[in-house]
Amino acid sequence: MKFFLCRIALLCSLLALPVQSFGGVDAFFRTSPYAAAAMVCGMKGVCADFVAQKHQFKKNRENGDDMVVKMNRDGSLVTKLVQKIDLKRSAAFLIYGALYQGLVLEYSYNHIYPRLFGPGQDVLSVLRKVSFDMFFQSPCLTLPSAYISKAFVFGNPIGGAVRKYVDDVIKQKLLLKYYVVWVPVMFFAFGVVPDRFRVTFCASVSFFWMMLLSAIANNSGEESSSSSSSSLSKNSIKAKKQ
């Protein structure tokens, strides 16, 4: 009987762990909203970019673009598989996730927006918040900051990052893809999700969006490199003809 009661007590304690854990998480998000947002969004950015890079490795393997020919010491040629995680690119998404998506959006969504458009979750207030976010903050700050963060990490000029963002908006339909995903998400975030979990909820959805953004940035980079290489080959052909 005593052993049976001990097993029941152990089972009850195990069942209570999720509740206690959630209570601790809830308290952490209440008392340290900026630290929680930066931590969640930073780790989300790294994980999303890692998954995107692994997907790109698989795509390169299917196309045969991940093989390089090297010469051994004896003069024989061998093909080797080249798959290396771009740590600088992951660092860019870490910085973007922690600083902008974590700190800036926490302050914007939960402090500035309530002052500008009201603290309520009524339809009119939510519509104003979503409209401002979609048509001003996102195209002017949220999306460009991702490109600028990457340029900062790689040591590239800011002007080039802005031009690349504009190019992706025009050629890759970046804003259209953004609106398809984020308009319904932000209506739910401002209308249903509690304030302290709003940025975390957006980060969970943004995990998949960051993979898409990383893939878009990578594809645009491949297109620019292929176009530059093709133009270089054309110039070399012209030079030979002359």
DSSP string, 187-228: HHHHHTS-HHHHHHHHHHHHHHHHHHHHHHHHHHHHHHHHHH
Q: How much is the pLDDT for 135? A: 95
Amino acid at residue number 131: S
Per-residue pLDDT at 98: 92
Q: Kindly give the interhelix angle for 143-154 and 195-241, rounded to the nearest 10 degrees.
A: 60
What is the rounded average pLDDT of the residues 30-58?
A: 85
Number of Cβ within a 10 Å radius of residue 153: 18
pLDDT of residue 213: 67
**Cα–Cα dist 221/225, whole Å:** 6
* pLDDT, the chain, mean: 77
pLDDT above 70 coverage of the chain, percent: 69
Are the CB atoms for 121 and 69 separated by under 8 Å?
A: no
Residue, of 213 and 108, whose pLDDT is higher: 108
Say if residue 191's pLDDT is above 90.
Answer: yes
pLDDT digit string, tens, across residues 132-173: 999 999 999 999 998 998 888 888 999 999 999 999 999 989
Domain parsing of the chain, residue ranges: 32-228
Predicted TM-score (pTM) of the model is 0.68
Please report which confidence band the pLDDT of residue 241 belongs to, taking 50, 70 and 90 as the band edges.
Answer: very low
| Count of Cβ atoms closer than 10 Å to residue 172 Cβ | 17
